[in-house]
Amino acid sequence: MKPDLFEAPDYYNLDDLLTDEHKLIRDSAREWVKKSVSPIIEEYAQKAEFPNHLIKELADIGAFGPYIPEEYGGPGLDQISYGLIMQEIERGDSGIRSTASVQSSLVMYPILKYGNEEQKMRFLPKLATGELMGCFGLTEPDHGSNPGGMTTNYKDKGDHYLLNGAKLWISNSPFADIAIVWAKNEEGRIHGLIVERGMEGFTTPETHNKWSLRASSTGELIFNDVKVPKENLLPNKSGLGAPLGCLDSARYGIAWGAVGAAMDCYDTALRYSKERVQFGRPIGGFQLQQKKLAEMITEITKAQLLAWRLGVLKNEGKASSAQISMAKRNNVEMAIKVAREARQILGGMGITGDYSIMRHMMNLESVITYEGTHDVHLLITGLDITGLNAFK
Ligand code: TGC
Ligand code: FAD
């Protein structure tokens, strides 16, 4: 891959909206991506392997649970800091951002919000340092967009719970030490359980043959009469709203992350358009290429503003689930469109691994599907504005 010459586009001076602390956090994540992600990511994506050696470094830049309070081992940052870290990591690769999102919003968040004090003290500090890695099991082979239909279940056996079922498409499952698993009890009520690697009957086979998110490890979670200690049940929230609450946090991070991927594609295409000469002049001088670039920076700027405003609402505790859905949907679609246009500007070179664009484009095909598909988020907006539920 070519050297990383990334210069972040900031067409509307959005830096003026950030505090010095935000900029410091953002810049250190940006530098880390340049130093540690860009030089190796193409190779890992090509061989379809997660770069495990980045785990400790991700923890060091505060990417695991940025908003987790210091008393539980987190850095206690605000939501805009969390968003900026996700933006910078996804500027490098969506798969690396996935690992950070899952650890932060889908593993640490449910333990923080729904766990008891003992669970928080036992797991959160080690998750913050990457000593423990986690995954989140909601999706099942027959229940993706409709997780409420899940069949994974547990029975009360007196001194333990007995867990059975299967989860599919689980980021980080092949190497995770713990899994937050959503399962129904005998009354059909959904609860979260902390399932630990090594429990008998629990396996995590890897999913191969992905054309997307290749530097992220994806797999299954299979539970065959797994005895889960009673103290591993998350006691403080039940029902589908519990896992969906975690998704709100992760979807928020994706709204920022997708902007990072788009910024990288735009910056690469802009630089290329000024250097590549055809018909005796840089292709950036042709109106058709300028149209692409001008539309890209316009859409990126709008998405940056949406993410920032959502961050302010999150900090104030006022962001609704539907607002988060709108930002996730808009910003991921924007990023895919930017990636497709940027790839064309590079002509044939755009399909090679010498540049990041094709990898981003392929990655974003997962990002537009996971954490609620593009269609599902549209229907959430539809429900919010009409009051009429298209899912029922
Ligand atoms: P519905 O009847 O609407 O709601 C059930 C209960 O949940 C509450 N609720 C929410 N709570 C918090 N946050 C949200 N976003 C919420 N949305 C709904 C709701 O108030 C209700 O509470 P209660 O107390 O009345 O019971 O549920 P439904 O069955 O009709 O489904 C609604 C729908 C389709 C929107 C929802 O199921 C959905 O979002 N489906 C998409 C599934 C999804 O996003 N899966 C993601 C899996 S994890 C993943 O992809 C990780 S990838 C990570 C990575 O690698 O980065
Ligand atoms: P389906 O739900 O079968 O949807 C198929 C199509 O039907 C979609 O286009 C969808 O929009 C459409 N559709 C469905 N319902 C409706 C409707 N009511 N109206 C209109 N159209 C509809 N899950 C986890 O739990 N944990 C993870 O860590 C995780 N990581 C993932 C990593 C990757 C790389 C991928 C690809 C997925 C991951 N997922 C994870 C699963 C992801 O959340 C699901 O793929 C997603 O929710 C969609 O479910 P599905 O694939 O079963 O598609």
Spatial neighbors of 372 by CB under 8 A, at least 6 apart, are 145, 247, 251, 325, 328, 380
167 CA from centroid of ligand 1 (Å): 16
- For 30, the token pair is 């940006």
Last residue of a domain, one of 167, 199, 232: 232
Question: What is the structure's pLDDT at 369?
Answer: 98
Assess contact for 128 and 195: CB atoms under 8 A: no
* Total domains, the chain: 3
Please indicate, yes or no, whether residues 219 and 151 belong to a single structural domain of this protein. yes
Question: What is the structure's pLDDT at 198?
Answer: 98
Q: CA-to-CA distance for 377 and 247, rounded, in angstroms? A: 12
Which residue range is the domain that position 32 belongs to?
Answer: 14-133
**DSSP state, residue 184:** E
- Can you give the CATH number for the domain in which 349 is found? 1.20.140.10
Q: CA-to-CA distance for 247 and 139, rounded, in angstroms? A: 12
For the Cβ of 102 lying below 6 angstroms from any atom of ligand 2, the answer is yes
Q: Which residue puts its alpha carbon closest to atom 19 of ligand 1?
A: 241
HSE on the CB side for 41, CA within 13 Å? 30
369 CA from centroid of ligand 2 (Å): 6
Last residue of a domain, one of 133, 163, 179: 133
6 in a structural domain: no
For the Cβ of 182 lying below 6 angstroms from any atom of ligand 2, the answer is no
7 in a structural domain: no
Question: What is the structure's pLDDT at 1?
Answer: 78
380 CA from centroid of ligand 1 (Å): 10
158 CA from centroid of ligand 1 (Å): 31
- For 282, the token pair is 């840089």
Residue 322: what residue type?
A
Specify whether 365 is catalytic.
no
359 in a structural domain: yes
Most distant pair of Cα atoms in the chain: their distance: 80
Assess contact for 339 and 361: CB atoms under 8 A: yes
**Residue 182 falls in which region: left (phi positive, over 0), alpha (psi -120 to 50) or beta:** beta
Q: Looking up tokens 């295409």, which residue turns up?
A: 269
Q: How many CB atoms lie within 10 A of CB 151?
A: 13
* 244, 368, 384: residue to mutate for ligand 1 pocket, most atoms within 8 A of CB: 244
Q: Is pTM, for the whole model, over 0.95?
A: yes
Q: CA-to-CA distance for 275 and 269, rounded, in angstroms? A: 10
Last residue of a domain, one of 210, 232, 254: 232
Please indicate, yes or no, whether residues 282 and 375 belong to a single structural domain of this protein. yes
Q: Which residue puts its alpha carbon closest to atom 28 of ligand 1?
A: 148
Mode of pairing for the β-strands spanning 218-229 and 202-203? antiparallel
Please indicate, yes or no, whether residues 260 and 346 belong to a single structural domain of this protein. yes
Q: Which residues of the chain have pLDDT under 70?
A: none
Please indicate, yes or no, whether residues 147 and 206 belong to a single structural domain of this protein. yes
